[in-house]
Structure 1
Amino acid sequence: MTIRSNRLVADVLHDAPATLRVFLDFHMRCVGCPIASFHTVADACHEHAVDLERFLAALQAAAAGPTVGFAPPFTGRDQPGERG
């Protein structure tokens, strides 16, 4: 997935959950922010005084990497604590 500066922050976080760590590493408070649905990546970088090109490169790397540590969504088929 290519992440461009005009993508909404909320869309980036939704489509590439591994990018959450990048936002936190850059000390950006976008995770859980109600403005994330309206701000683009470029807007967020401007608001947090973060270098856009460096940030985009980090987002791309995170989105391209494996999603180790992310559990699959709960489907309701398996009950927590039960074994088959």
Structure 2
Amino acid sequence: MTVTKDTLIGEILREDQSTAPFFFEMGMHCLGCPSSTMESLEEACMVHGVSVEELVEKLNGHMARQ
């Protein structure tokens, strides 16, 4: 899976649950909440004031190593 800014958080977590710490790092602690899993990565990053490009890079790097 390749993550983009438009990828839904729920899709990322379904593909690789070991990505959860990256979301916790950005302050998203309610990953079980239905609305959080339906947000795009870009939407979540805007809400939490995090760089979407940086998070996309981290997630893709992590997933490539799995």
User: What's the TM-score once normalised by structure 2's chain length?
Assistant: 0.83
Q: Which structure has the larger Rg?
A: 1
* Structure 2 alignment gaps of length 5 or more: none
User: Matches of 1:59 and 1:30 in 2, distance apart?
Assistant: 18
Matches within 5 A, 1:1-84: 1-66=1-66
Deviation per CA, 1:2-57: give whole Å up to 9, x if none.
10111111111111212111111222235112213421011100111111111111
Count of equivalent residues? 66
Which structure has the highest helix share of the two? Answer: 2
Instruction: Tell me which of the two structures has the higher relative contact order, counting C-alpha pairs closer than 8 angstroms and 6 or more residues apart.
Output: 2
Identity %: 27
**1:30–1:44 contact (8 Å) kept in structure 2:** no
Amino acid in the other structure paired with 1:5: K
User: What's the TM-score once normalised by structure 1's chain length?
Assistant: 0.68
